[in-house]
Amino acid sequence: MPALPSEIIKLKRDGKELSKNQIKEFIDSYVSGSVADYQMSAFLMAVYFNGMSKRETFSLTEAMLHSGLVIDLSFLNGSKIDKHSTGGVGDKTSLIIGPIVAAAGVFVPMVSGRGLGHTGGTLDKLESIPGFSTQLSVEQFKDQLSRLGVCFIGQTKEICPSDKKMYALRDVTGTVECVPLICASIMSKKLAEGIDGLVLDVKVGSGAFMKTIKEARILAKALSAIAKGAKKKISVLITDMNQPLGKAIGNSLEVEECFDILKNRGPKDLRDLSIELSAQMIFLGGKAKNLGAARNVAEEILISGKALRLFEEVVSAQGGKLPLPRAQSTYAIVSKKNGFISGFQTESVGLASLLLGAGRKKSDDKIDPTAGVILHYKIGDAVKKGNALATLHYNGDKPIKEVEQMLLDSIEIRLQKPKTPRLILEKVGR
Amino acid sequence: MPALPSEIIKLKRDGKELSKNQIKEFIDSYVSGSVADYQMSAFLMAVYFNGMSKRETFSLTEAMLHSGLVIDLSFLNGSKIDKHSTGGVGDKTSLIIGPIVAAAGVFVPMVSGRGLGHTGGTLDKLESIPGFSTQLSVEQFKDQLSRLGVCFIGQTKEICPSDKKMYALRDVTGTVECVPLICASIMSKKLAEGIDGLVLDVKVGSGAFMKTIKEARILAKALSAIAKGAKKKISVLITDMNQPLGKAIGNSLEVEECFDILKNRGPKDLRDLSIELSAQMIFLGGKAKNLGAARNVAEEILISGKALRLFEEVVSAQGGKLPLPRAQSTYAIVSKKNGFISGFQTESVGLASLLLGAGRKKSDDKIDPTAGVILHYKIGDAVKKGNALATLHYNGDKPIKEVEQMLLDSIEIRLQKPKTPRLILEKVGR
């Protein structure tokens, strides 16, 4: 006889370990509606307090995964490897990595999300390209993967319906910041893509959800454990998010910066991280005998222009038409002092961009694809009074003075030259 | 600017002390619908884990109290004192106490609840009297109080709507067993009655929600603190619920036992507790200079038949018509051994009565007013093989064999005579 939902909640509340079947039944009943939202939220809060064992987290991931369609990509003759980032400001690597890795012969099935709060989302960035569609059917997705090796889509209704429902609930019930729930949410969606392996980019710092390396390590380990349990290859990088990645924040501005990288220009940090993540994926995908060789493959593909040409094909295949649109107005923010850029309050930089229209406060807010911020300096750069620190891109009437003050407060300038921060902090073993 | 509901949940989750205004706003928003059930249940679970300070519990009680109508009984020339029991099996003292205390000149505004699970409810008991109505308007309630000094009603829609909504939610989200929530639920309803003082009967034992005296003390202290904060007189008795109170369990059977007590017959434990609770109320109501004198007043009123006549007037005023109905079938359960009654699994006795139709598993179940169990012995009584231990009263087709086994398993018989248990365990100071 199946247990009452309230009994399952009480078991979790009382610190008992739930069985695989209990978790599966609870999740299935939630999707079918016989467990109510108010029961799920009480359960999630109990999980927040009591945590979940490795076994429970894996059972939750599996239950969420099997609440919907698991895409079967076994017809593709080769490895299927995806990348997931825990989110940051200016984090646009997916657009660069996808074509590099696919050009190396590894299939890249990318199911991405939208931005919320200070962080951007891959779908919003791609959709700033006029006509670009991320709402493909599973058949279209499979078809493009087999032709081009890479395809970018949004989460469909069929994939992990439990995650969609649970995530919306967590957002309004104070149960977002909880490692087992974060892990199950990420991994259930990624496993549903039909992948063989996953490279995770866990961001840590002032622009990330994880503020300390300790927290990032806990998350990285928990994610790795699930991947291993699911018999998937996994590689985790813990990377710096104490300053925006690259210099562009805002959707079409970030796509433009990706084109720069693909054209062998653009900010070094974004290029370095893209190469490293690509190398990890190429190595997991079996297209290089070690990471060093994989890095060389990625570099060659980038330098040769192959990745640029593939990305242009993908844009065209998904309906996108260049050139990118531009905002009508720009405004330069000028430094009030001499010194070195020594730090960013990265989350505030993301929120400044949001205020210009580039992001969402609530999940149903409309965004302006052309709005955003271009930073002109990275940590360690020298700056003089009167130099432009950043350029705002926006349309219509926006709170420019407020955004200016936010950015001036967010960019630290000191007389002493700081140490250049390390970009890749740790690699958590395969 | 009012805080987002999710921010209030997070504060509680993170162990912060909420302000009076934050709690008031959250409760008011819940009643108006802008805080959703799923947010309230997450909040309640966070309270379950982090508790509430004395100040928070008081703020919660006040917020729940003022979510609805607070009855104004200031027009009554005298003290208004009520009694509340935390619930047990065979606990029917309200019907005896109400008339005794009112006959002593203290007003008794009794707003009662219905039974759920193994415990009975005063409303169900009264409604087993044919025609008896507990659904009076606030005006009818006031009118009867001024004429007879006592009136029994159910919680109206106007009183503590937040409690009604929250209680239903707690029941299905594993958040019932939480002292601050229990306290706020009890006290908000009692304060809404317009009382000057309250006598609390906190039950402890195998038939009560509180299984240990330690838990009972914690609850007693928390309830006292709220009463003091609200500037109400309070007196708390912690009393034994390791056997049913009296011998009758089931609605009309219990009313009959109340008539027995009012006619100077009936089980000693029920009489003793009724006198003690009445004395506490008479003393709090200022109608005796000390508890000893108050006990004498209660005894005299009971012996003289004044309380019986007043109860008959109340029954008639609220539409009730005697005689009480009786079930069509009875079945005697016979002892299989000689010895002394040494204990009860009291909750099981309550559930056995429920299976005969006397109680509810779910809040919308129908009950049979005449069904129930009459026990023939109390702890310490000698019993012989072949003696009737209990008589079942029921209608139609009931699982009699199952109930018989339950009761045989619930009534412990040993060769050694046990100590007679104390009825009143502790008095928690005024």
Tell me the ipTM for this assembly.
Answer: 0.85
Catalytic (active site) residue A170: yes
Q: Cis omega (within 30 of 0) on the bond before B109?
A: no
What pLDDT does B250 receive? 96
Question: How far does the CA of residue A39 sit from the closest CA of chain B (Å)?
Answer: 5
Catalytic (active site) residue B163: yes
What pLDDT does A365 receive? 82
CA–CA dist A104, A204 (Å, integer): 29
Residue ranges of B 230-269 with Cβ closer than 8 A to chain A = none
pLDDT tens, B328-351?
A: 999 999 999 999 999 999 999 999
Residue A335 and residue A266 share a domain? no
Residue B306 and residue B254 share a domain? yes
The CATH number of residue B197's host domain is 3.40.1030.10
Helix boundaries (H) for B247-399: 251-262, 268-284, 291-304, 306-317, 346-353
In this complex, which of A41, A49, A171 lies closest to B41 when CB atoms are compared? Answer: A41
pLDDT tens, B203-241?
A: 999 999 899 999 999 999 999 999 999 999 999 999 999
**Domain count for chain B:** 3
Q: Which of A8, A16, A38 to mutate to test the interface with B (most CBs of B within 10 A)?
A: A38
- Beta strands B150-154 and B108-112 are parallel
What pLDDT does A3 receive? 74
In the structure, what pLDDT confidence band is assigned to residue B364 with cuts at 50, 70 and 90?
confident
CB < 8 Å & 24+ apart, contacts of A217-223: A217/A426, A217/A428, A218/A179, A219/A86, A219/A179, A219/A182, A219/A183, A220/A426, A220/A428, A221/A428, A222/A54, A222/A57, A222/A179, A222/A180, A222/A183, A223/A183, A223/A186, A223/A187
What pLDDT does B113 receive? 82
Residue A339 and residue A307 share a domain? no
Residue A265 and residue A182 share a domain? yes
A150 belongs to a structural domain: yes
Residues A89/A207, Cβ–Cβ less than 8 Å:
yes
B419 belongs to a structural domain: no
Q: Pick from B256, B286, B317: which residue ends a domain?
A: B317
Q: Is the dihedral of CA B283, B288, B292, B298 positive or negative?
A: negative
Residues B247/B267, Cβ–Cβ less than 8 Å:
yes
Counting as low any pLDDT under 50, the low residues of chain A are 1
E strand intervals along A24-181: 81-85, 108-112, 150-154
Catalytic (active site) residue B185: yes
Q: Pick from A283, A317, A351: which residue ends a domain?
A: A317
Residues forming a β-bridge with B83: B199
Residue A299 and residue A216 share a domain? yes
Residue A200 and residue A137 share a domain? yes
| Residue-range definition of the domain harbouring residue B18 | 5-51
In the structure, what pLDDT confidence band is assigned to residue B114 with cuts at 50, 70 and 90?
confident
Instruction: Identify the CA nearest to B292 among candidates B306, B271, B276, B274.
Output: B276
CA–CA dist A212, A206 (Å, integer): 9
* Interchain CB contact of A100 with B (< 8 Å): no
Q: Is residue B307 pLDDT above 90, yes or no?
A: yes
What mean pLDDT comes out for the span B31-54? Answer: 96
What pLDDT does B118 receive? 75
Residue B308 and residue B214 share a domain? yes
A140 belongs to a structural domain: yes
What pLDDT does A95 receive? 98
A63 belongs to a structural domain: no
What mean pLDDT comes out for the span B68-88? Answer: 95
Q: Is residue B244 pLDDT above 70, yes or no?
A: yes
pTM to 2 decimals?
0.86
Residue A348 and residue A410 share a domain? yes
Tell me the three state secondary structure of residue A165. helix
Q: Pick from B285, B317, B349: which residue ends a domain?
A: B317
pLDDT tens, B398-411?
A: 999 999 999 999 99
Residues B340/B383, Cβ–Cβ less than 8 Å:
yes
The CATH number of residue B397's host domain is 3.90.1170.30
A429 belongs to a structural domain: no
Cα atoms found within 13 Å of the Cα of residue B148, Cβ hemisphere only: 25
For B54, the token pair is 């004395």
In the structure, what pLDDT confidence band is assigned to residue B267 with cuts at 50, 70 and 90?
very high
Q: φ, ψ for residue A389 (rounded to 5)?
A: -80, -35
Question: How far does the CA of residue A263 sit from the closest CA of chain B (Å)?
Answer: 45
For B66, the token pair is 């003022």
* Interchain CB contact of A3 with B (< 8 Å): no
- Taking the mean position of all CA atoms in its chain, how far away is CA A415? 34
Q: Which amino acid is at A15?
A: G
Residue B160 and residue B22 share a domain? no
Q: Average per-residue pLDDT in chain B? A: 95
* Other beta carbons less than 10 A from residue B418's beta carbon: 13
What pLDDT does A429 receive? 62
Reading phi first (left if > 0) and then psi (alpha if -120 to 50, else beta), residue A174 is in left
Residue A23 and residue A162 share a domain? no
Residues forming a β-bridge with B344: B411
Contact criterion met (CB < 8 Å) for B39 and A172: yes
A419 belongs to a structural domain: no
Residue A89 and residue A165 share a domain? yes
Catalytic (active site) residue A430: no
Residue A296 and residue A151 share a domain? yes
Residues A198/A190, Cβ–Cβ less than 8 Å:
yes
CA–CA dist B232, B209 (Å, integer): 25
Q: Is the dihedral of CA A109, A113, A115, A119 positive or negative?
A: negative
DSSP state letters, B312-339: HHHHHHTT--SSPP--SEEEEEE-SS-E
B63 belongs to a structural domain: no
What pLDDT does A317 receive? 98
Catalytic (active site) residue B398: no
In the structure, what pLDDT confidence band is assigned to residue B2 with cuts at 50, 70 and 90?
low
In the structure, what pLDDT confidence band is assigned to residue B429 with cuts at 50, 70 and 90?
low
Q: Is residue B1 pLDDT above 60, yes or no?
A: no
SS (HEC) of B130-146: CCCCCCCCHHHHHHHHH
Contact criterion met (CB < 8 Å) for A41 and B38: yes
pLDDT tens, B120-150?
A: 789 999 999 999 999 999 999 999 999 999 9
B45 belongs to a structural domain: yes
